[in-house]
């Protein structure tokens, strides 16, 4: 019995039991816990099929190349703010209060209107609440692997 308790304690302390460390971003002085979508499959799925997201949570999408990007809300059940950032983590575009869409491939696209490398999705209304303006800088947890900045 003691061996089981010790093993369980070691697993919990080491994070092997499924407790991933919380990663974060900060913008306009407010910190959000994030999930990271840094490969094609994760970016494609995004926040689809979720019925809710905790108030101070979001998803950070890391793209391969900095270029104009469009996002859509296919199979997304919650309204979102979609924030686009360049290689220097400056806010270069935003789509606020984007509604859910159940129209499949007929869902509209929401473009960045500028070259972006990172996209942060938050619950709708966060950008308004924070008064976000273009040029705002995103701070990212050092444990998140960002793309190398162009020289």
pLDDT at 36: 96
Within the chain, where are the H helices?
2-14, 40-45, 126-130
Longest Cα–Cα distance of the chain, Å, equals 61
Q: Which of 42-51, 88-97, 118-127 has the lowest mean pLDDT?
A: 42-51
In the chain the domains, ranked by start, together with CATH numbers, are 20-140 (2.60.120.1140)
Instruction: Give this prediction's pTM.
Output: 0.84
pLDDT band (50, 70, 90) for residue 11: very low
Checking if the pLDDT of 101 tops 80, the result is: yes
pLDDT at 21: 72
């Amino acid at each position: 019995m003691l061996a089981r308790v010790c093993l369980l304690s070691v697993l919990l302390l080491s994070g092997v039991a499924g407790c991933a460390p919380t990663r974060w971003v900060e913008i306009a002085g407010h910190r959000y816990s994030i999930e990271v979508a840094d490969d094609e499959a994760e970016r494609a799925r995004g926040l689809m099929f979720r019925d809710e997201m905790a108030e101070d949570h979001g998803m950070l999408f890391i793209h391969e190349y900095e270029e104009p990007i469009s996002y859509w809300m296919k199979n997304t059940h919650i309204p979102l703010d979609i924030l686009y950032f360049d290689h220097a983590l400056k806010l270069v575009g935003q789509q606020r209060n984007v509604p859910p869409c159940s129209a499949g491939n007929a869902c509209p696209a929401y473009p960045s209107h500028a070259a972006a490398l990172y996209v942060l999705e938050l619950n709708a209304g966060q950008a308004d609440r924070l008064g976000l303006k273009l040029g705002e800088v995103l701070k990212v947890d050092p444990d998140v692997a960002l793309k190398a900045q162009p020289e």
